[in-house]
Structures are given as structure tokens and as C-alpha cells.
Chain A
Amino acid sequence: MRINLSSVAVDDQEKGFRFYTEVLGFQKKHDIPMGKHRWITLVSAEDPDGTELCLEPDEHPAVQQFKSALIEDGIPFTSFAVQDVAAEHKRLESLGVRFTQPPVDYGTVTAAVFDDTCGNLIQIAQGTMEP
């Protein structure tokens, strides 16, 4: 068994597709119409054969409640690895991305948290949890 897919629930698939590709810079892997929704998966340009990120619709009422509760407490739904959090923070802020947490140095890890405009907070981190 291996992990090939991870997903994030977006309030609008097209808006999510634009944000995750045009702003974050991920690449389209699949975009298949599925009834009124789409099966959209993205990959990192740094790892085109790696784990895919699926942009799922968040229509279920429980999902929206869950997302709102996480946002209120500033909890990121998932985390992406970057080489340089400070540089990425600067780049994304210049593109109008709203950060709820600027880069914080925890010692071995530096992390920041931003709003993906689709109802989620996302963390970017550099470093490792290992001492």
C-alpha cells in the first residue's frame, strides 16, 4: 500500500484550481468532468510523479462546519514542504495571499499559515521535526 493521493475540500473547484495552479504553482495532472463536479488532481512541478492533490467539492454540510471550526482556531488542514518559508511567504503575500501566521521559527522547523481562498488554511514548512 502506498499513499498516492491527498485531498483538500474547496468551496469552488474552478476557483480552487486557479489558486492552487496560478498562485501556488502546482501543475494539473487530471481534470475529468464528473457530473456537476470535476475530478481534479494536481502535482508539484518539483515532483510530477509524486503524490497528487485532489481538489474535492466541500458540499457536505458537515465539511463546511468542520472547515469553519478549523479556520476560526487557525488550524491548517494540511501542510506543504518548501525550501524557504520566508521567501515563499514574501512571494505569496505579494500576490495578495492572506497569511494568518507569518513564518515562525520553532527551532528545527519554520512554518507559516495562509488562507487558500477556498475555505482552508494551509501550512508551509521548511525543516524537519527531528532534532
Chain B
Amino acid sequence: MDDLYRAIADPTRRAILDELVDRDGQSLFEICARLTMKHDIGSSRQAISQHLEVLETAGLIQVKREGRYKFHWFHGEPLEAITKRWPTSVNRSEKS
């Protein structure tokens, strides 16, 4: 769980997840371009790669190879653990 909280504690990593929700299955190039052009985040490609590793370790993204390409996919399932631990009004009423 610590991996999950650490992963979403960083604004750049949250922006990466936002962009993958906008369009899933992006190359490293597309992620970097979106961060630079849409979020004004000028981090190096290496820095973004490290952010992606943190997100992958937390299970929030999946990296899949397709032939010679490598794409990043959003994987939101681990986030369910948060509302399971601290139920929102929505999923509290679902239980009752």
C-alpha cells in the first residue's frame, strides 16, 4: 500500500495518470510531449521514465510491448483499496 500512496503523492505522476485516462496506451514520447505541452512539466525523459517505474511498481500502470513498440496503460484497480479502507458515502450506501 505504501507504494500506492507514494505513487499518487507526486503531481507529475498524477498528471501522467490524467493523460493516460485521456488516451490509454501511450508511448514514452507521447507522455513526455503531453506533460511538456499541456502541463508545462519540462522534466527530462529519464525523469519521466523513473516516474513511470514508480507508477508501475504501484500497479497503477502496465507496460506492454507490441512488437518493437512499448506502450503504457492505465490500471486503476489498486485505487479501489483506498475507498475500501476509507469508504465514501457512495460505497457505504452500496453495502447497506
Residues of A within 8 A of B (CB): 68, 71-76, 100-102, 104, 106-107, 109, 111, 113, 121
Contacts and interface: CB of A to CB of B under 8 A. Distances in A.
Given A73-B29, A73-B45, A109 B68 contact: no
A68 B67 CA distance: 11
A128 B71 CA distance: 27
A88 to B, nearest CB: 17
A100 B23 contact: no
A74 B30 contact: yes
A-B pairs with the 3 shortest C-beta distances? A74-B27, A106-B37, A74-B29
Interface of B: 23, 26-30, 33-34, 37-38, 45, 68-71
A106 B28 contact: no
A72 B33 contact: no
Contact of B28 (A74, A102, A104, A107): A74
Contact of B33 (A71, A102, A104): A104
Contacts of B68: 68, 71-72
B45 A106 contact: no
B27 A100 contact: yes
